[in-house]
Structure 1
């Protein structure tokens, strides 16, 4: 009977350590994945908007390709900052975001091929709303896994903005340059805010 009580206590401690390790894994240096990605995307959206305003370069949206460069940078940084203990939950979160990353690549490749075939490069406008939806789903799943309601529910705002843009395109409403700012705003809401909330809880836990 005594052995059963000890096992239960050890099980609770193990679960607690796994959750704590997972939350620590979310951090990179003085920030975390969400904060880095959110601020970078928001800043890039402002840069693209500003470039268009000053130069009227119609293909300024191509600057979004810098997201792939930033992704590579984050992957390198992520490998250097791996925790000493890699839990099953850590691996699940990793695989969720790897799946989302591959969805980005496949979506971009398919849209690019169709654009070349039909000579209609405005199809690339679909990348913004689809990206907002993909990221929103990824953040929501992450929030559910680590049992954080803010991270789980705030992304629905970004998903809603993505669906708004996607519906507008379907209704032949021509995208405007302000859409880039809307896209950046969606990342502030579904990544930056949850990221700071997570950091604040981590500081209190310490």
Structure 2
């Protein structure tokens, strides 16, 4: 039996449908990954900085561990709203964020080990590192689903991350203002593109 070969037009249409399905799954399947994480980061950045400003206690930075909460929310919503179609591009995006998630976990593990060895550790350094990881994941996702605002928005995160790391090397320490920089970066990198993506899906 002879296999039917797809024409170039049919191939492009198939790829286009796969990309569109992935966009819809990112928005409808979990309440929009970007909005969930972006707004969580924005609220935490303001709250942690305000608490530090009032109390002067840098231990409030531990509040950033609440960023793991959206994972539970997304996992719960995905069980309730499973996508009807899971495409190849869905798998690609999922694997990208699995790698990014592994980098987050590995970084925290290494920092904890070093803290026990050296007796001290500045977890505020997780902010620029997280921006780099999240920026890479967001940029790749934007390229896969052909959403330019995700790609360009991630550049803001990269700029702030490099600025923080350079500031750390030049000034010899972290600054609490980094919390606000992180919230601003995630707003541009995830919240704004998340709303753009929602708006495009609603118009379909």
Report deviation, 1:172: 3.5
Tell me the residue number matched to 1:159. 158
Structure 1: state its 5+ residue gaps: none
* CA RMSD, Structure 1 to Structure 2 (Å): 2.2
Tell me the residue number matched to 2:175. 176
**Deviations 1:155-193, CA, capped at 9 Å, x for gaps:** 111111011111211223432221111111110011011
Report deviation, 1:50: 1.6
| Separation in structure 1 between the aligned mates of residue 94 and residue 49 of structure 2, nearest angstrom | 32
CA contact (8 A) 2:52 2:58 kept: yes
Tell me the residue number matched to 1:97. 97
| Separation in structure 1 between the aligned mates of residue 105 and residue 21 of structure 2, nearest angstrom | 30
Alignment CA distance shift 1:8-1:80 (3 Å): same
Tell me the residue number matched to 2:112. 112
Count the aligned residue pairs: 202
CA contact (8 A) 2:27 2:197 kept: no
Structure 2: state its 5+ residue gaps: none
Tell me the residue number matched to 2:139. 140
| Separation in structure 1 between the aligned mates of residue 48 and residue 72 of structure 2, nearest angstrom | 21
Scaled by the length of structure 2, the TM-score of the pair is: 0.90
Tell me the residue number matched to 1:75. 75
User: Could you list the runs of 4 or more consecutive aligned residues of structure 1 that deviate by over 3 angstroms after TM superposition?
Assistant: 3-13, 28-31
| Separation in structure 1 between the aligned mates of residue 30 and residue 95 of structure 2, nearest angstrom | 23
| Separation in structure 1 between the aligned mates of residue 6 and residue 70 of structure 2, nearest angstrom | 47
Secondary structure, in 3 states, of the residue corresponding to 1:175? coil
Scaled by the length of structure 1, the TM-score of the pair is: 0.89
Secondary structure, in 3 states, of the residue corresponding to 1:95? helix
